Amino acid sequence: MARKTNRLFTIGYEQTPPKAVLDELEHAGVKLLVDVRAIASSRRPGFSKNQLAAGLDARGIGYLHLKKLGTPKSGREAARSGKVDLLHRIYSAHLKTAEAREELDELSALVKKAGPVCILCYERDHTQCHRQWIAEIIEDRDGVKVENLVAPQV
């Protein structure tokens, strides 16, 4: 019997208006958005936890914040400094913590049963964001297809 191919999307909201992100998610058929920011707040209107959840809910998309999959403060500082190698080392160590492994398992289970699922973080370019490493782990471990969504910029 052929195995059902589950899908995992990723998206970043940098330089993108909330409506464009929500449109992109809806167009892709996303049923659940998983926020993988350590701190689910933003100076950008529409992207703080409650505003984002309300906007998603209005479109029939669920919201879940898995903050332990977020980048620790030292990793966020490395990212802001453009030190992607340092960010990767810090985040790789973080993923070995019990809390992060637990939330990675939770995400894995959600992708298998609730799909399509999309993970969200700030960076527009997924290659410069920790969400890419999360997606690669789920892809390798669970055989899911990963697609990086990009909403139109402002």
Q: What tokens does 21 get? A: 């992100």
- What's the pTM? 0.92
Q: What is residue 100's predicted lDDT score, i.e. its pLDDT?
A: 97
How far is Cα 14 from Cα 44, in angstroms, rounded to an integer? 9
Looking at CATH, the fold of the domain delimited by 7-148 is given as: Cobalt-precorrin-4 Transmethylase; domain 1 (3.40.1010)
How far is Cα 96 from Cα 92, in angstroms, rounded to an integer? 7
Q: Assess whether pLDDT exceeds 80 at residue 51.
A: yes
Please report, in angstroms and rounded to a whole number, the separation of the first and last CA atoms in the chain.
Answer: 45
On whether the CB atoms of residues 60 and 115 are closer than 8 A, the answer is no
Q: Assess whether pLDDT exceeds 90 at residue 22.
A: yes
Stretch 60-65: mean pLDDT = 97
Q: Assess whether pLDDT exceeds 60 at residue 135.
A: yes
